Structure 1
Amino acid sequence: MLSGSLLASAQGYPSKTMTLVVPFAPGGNIDVIARAIGPSLAKVTGQSVVVDNKPGAGGAIGSNFVARSDPDGYTLLVATTNTISVLPYMLKSPPYKPDSFEPVGLTAISPLVIVVRKDDKRFPTAKALFQAVKVAPESVSVGHAGQGTSNHIAILRMEDAARVNFNVIPYKGSAPALTDLMGGQIDFVVDQITSSKPFVDSGNLRILAVLSKDRAQGLQDIPTLREAIGIELDASTTAGILAPPGTSANVIKALNAALRKAIDDSGVRGRLSAVGSTARSSSPQEWAQMLSQESSNSQALVQSGKIKAE
């Protein structure tokens, strides 16, 4: 339970069921993180915590739902820096702005990977994949979790750095993209290891490269893109929790304290580590600063023409 002083400062908050809204389909990275943290958050607060998936529009539908919810601290958004600070710049009529939320705190950081079907002999290595698309531009299809996601931006950065063009296909989350990959509808997926690892472990998928600057924890035998094809790239997914605009400072303070305690639980850290993600807590201010920096980066990408509102 929260300490008495925090409960008092938040006027008895929380006192009923809390909902963690995941703006992507079940089975994706954010869904995995939410379901890992939910039970621990329920234990800390003494209240039920429900995970509600509201996928669509690259995360905009679920995010907008939270942005318009009552600012009472009971409807919360589990999202990434990209969902909040990149996606609005990619939509002609964004339903929310980067400052449409009250940051609560970080939850986890997950490395991005390139995954292909285990039995796809065309791409034994990342080098073979990039050579194929150089020979025939847009002949290789890649799926991602949705417009403006870190997965999508990483693909754009890869294309720019390697001077290639893939056939890029957006989905309503990682799970649908991975399903089509395993079904042979697309050639590869850029995804968080968190959601891909179960299919890698089961023998359905194979990792060609990690997109972080250094080899990822637990994936020491997988090369980085720099090692594989000489591309300097550092791409990962940073996730956190946000509340609707207007949520009181006292509630945010109580929420942050509960979230920190939930994330510090060894079971939560172990569960996230097992799927390749790293649990990470923070103050609301640190999370807000990261979102602000990503928003500035997005504005620069708009000015350069690398991303456009559609």
Structure 2
Amino acid sequence: MNREIHLVKRPEGTPGHEHLAVVENPLPEPQAGEVLLKTLYVSVDPYMRGRMSDGKSYVAPFELNEPLDGGVIAEVTESQDDHFNVGDIVTGVLPWQEYSTAKAESLRKIDPSLGPVTTSLGILGMPGLTAYFGLTDIGKPKAGETLVVSGAAGAVGSTVVQIGKILGLRVVGIAGTDEKTSYVTEKLGADKAINYKTEDVRKAVKTACPDGVDLYFDNVGGSIADAVYPRLNKFARIIQCGAISSYNLTEDKGPRIQTYLIKSSALIQGFIVADYQERFKEGFQHLSKWLKEGQLTYEETITEGFDNIPDAFFGLFKGENIGKQLVKVAEPGPQ
């Protein structure tokens, strides 16, 4: 039998185990043009919280009583397509289940020469591409400018910090523990880091950014964003990547931002990485080059076991991870 994790109830507020269920179904069989895949690693990501609701969004909601899905690394265990052989390691958007079938064209074979396979779900995958295109295309950074990054110790934020330094920016990261702020400065190379749980963020941003803020890469929203807006410089650019602080709130209120935007002639633009799908090759080339040259580093928080996928997901909203949060489900090879 094949274990699957289904969404059985839509959460109002913070999701918990009562909203998910482990279901057993017969092992799927690949048809012509498909492969049978054994799940090795599962990516859990904040955007999945939005898909648990049925409101209008940029991606369809998860269906009730069906498996959730997301980025997965898997091994081909049976192939009905000439493009893949048994033993190939691939990545794609796949369901949260131990075994699944997929059409060959929906999968990408992982090149192990570029780094550990897990990087395909992190710095050489969706988070890395999100960081690259958000900062370079929307931010249009110029050497010497000041960049502030919220969620700076996460998968996207940690990459933004490093790309900012590569491009000659002064970088200030915001994170939620002393361990994370040390990581942001000592390993990622940020000039300053702010612990939003122990510091007055508005005062800390003013101190850390004496010449103001030219770019704000926002992964968090909420009160942290409220503290950054008063420091915006003329023609500042705000890259609105996420708002994890409000994902589990049923009601969210805050200061009005329009006055700050008008006074600074600032640009704010939201985006999703799929907007840049036709340019993924460009982003991948830059990221893989910087990684090979040692200009980029990464951290992974890896939880073990299929049954622990929900807890790893819930932990994102408590700030439990540093870098990319993954769940290791199985080892490659016969099973």
**Fold shared, TM-score > 0.5 on shorter chain:** no
Identify the structure with the greater strand proportion. 2
TM-score by length of 2: 0.30
Of structures 1 and 2, the one with the larger relative CO (CA 8 A, separation 6+) is 1
